[in-house]
Amino acid sequence: MTRPTGEKPARPMVAVDTVLFAVKDGRLQTYLVELRRGPGRGRWAFPGGLVRVGELLDDAARRELHDSTGLRGAYLEQLFTFGDPSRDPRAHVVSVAYMALIPEADEVGAPCDKYSTGKWYEVTRLPQLAYDHSLMAAYAVKRLKSKLEYTNIAYALLPREFTFAEFEELYSLILGRPLDRRNFRRSILAMGMLKRLPHTRRGPHRPAALYSFANQSLRFIEML
C-alpha cells in the first residue's frame, strides 16, 4: 500500500520486561517492582524499560534486570513479543518479554530509583499487575513448565550441589503435580543429566547423597 504524501511512518517504541523466577520458601515465586511514575504508578509490574538506540535486545534486558535487582549472569531467554498498541496508554510501546531464573532469591538487591520498592510474590498469588504483565506472567509460567519437561533448565533454579529429594521437589513444585518417585529417579539418572558427587550432606538422619548437573548450560533431554 502506498503511504499518502507527507504521512510519517509509525515508529513504536521498543521495551523489554523480564519475568524473574526463583524458588523461595518452598514456592515458585516471581519478582515484582512497584512503579513510581507513569499511568501505572503505585501498581506492580515486572522490571523493564525502553531499549536504547543501537542496543541489542538481550543487552537491554540484562541492563534493566541489573538496574532493578543487581543481578548479573542470571539465566535469561526471550519469551514473546507483546505489541497491542493500547497496552501503554501513553504511547505505542512494543514489549519483548524475557524469562530469568536464579537459584537463590536472596541474590536480589534493592531496585533502582525509578521503582518504589521490589518484592517476591508466589506465582499463584500475584497482585493486580500494570499494563499487560498478567499475560506475561501466565506465558512465562507456561514456558517454564514446558521447558522443564524437555531440557535441563532446572540447573538455573538449583544451587551447584543438591540432594535428589530437592531436585524431585523442584520438578513437582513447578509442574504442579506429584511424581512417580521410583520411575522419575530411574528416568532422570538414566539420562545422564546429573552426576553424583563424592561427598554427602549430613543431616538429622543418615547422610544424603549430593548431585550436580552434568552441564551448567541449557541442554535438550528426553521427554519425561
Q: For residues 202 and 96, give the distance between their C-alpha atoms in angstroms, rounded to a whole number.
A: 45
Q: Alpha carbon of 173 to those of 13, 151, 177, 185, 211: distances in Å?
A: 37, 16, 7, 16, 19
Q: For residues 167 and 185, give the distance between their C-alpha atoms in angstroms, rounded to a whole number.
A: 10
CB under 8 Å to 53, separation ≥6 — which residues?
none
Element (H, E) at 30: strand 27-35
Q: Distance between terminal CA atoms of the chain?
A: 49
C-alpha cell, 10: 509509525
* Residue 36, pLDDT score: 94
Average pLDDT of the segment spanning 95-109: 97
pLDDT tens, position by position, 7-23: 656 689 999 999 999 99
**Dihedrals phi, psi of 62, to nearest 5 degrees:** -70, -40
Q: For residues 121 and 29, give the distance between their C-alpha atoms in angstroms, rounded to a whole number.
A: 5
Cα angle 166, 23, 80 (rounded to 5 degrees) comes to 120
Q: Where residue 224 falls among pLDDT bands split at 50, 70, 90? A: low
Q: Is-contact 19 102, C-beta < 8 A? A: no
Name which residue leads in pLDDT, 11 or 176. 176
* Residue 1, pLDDT score: 46
pLDDT tens, position by position, 192-211: 999 999 999 987 778 899 99
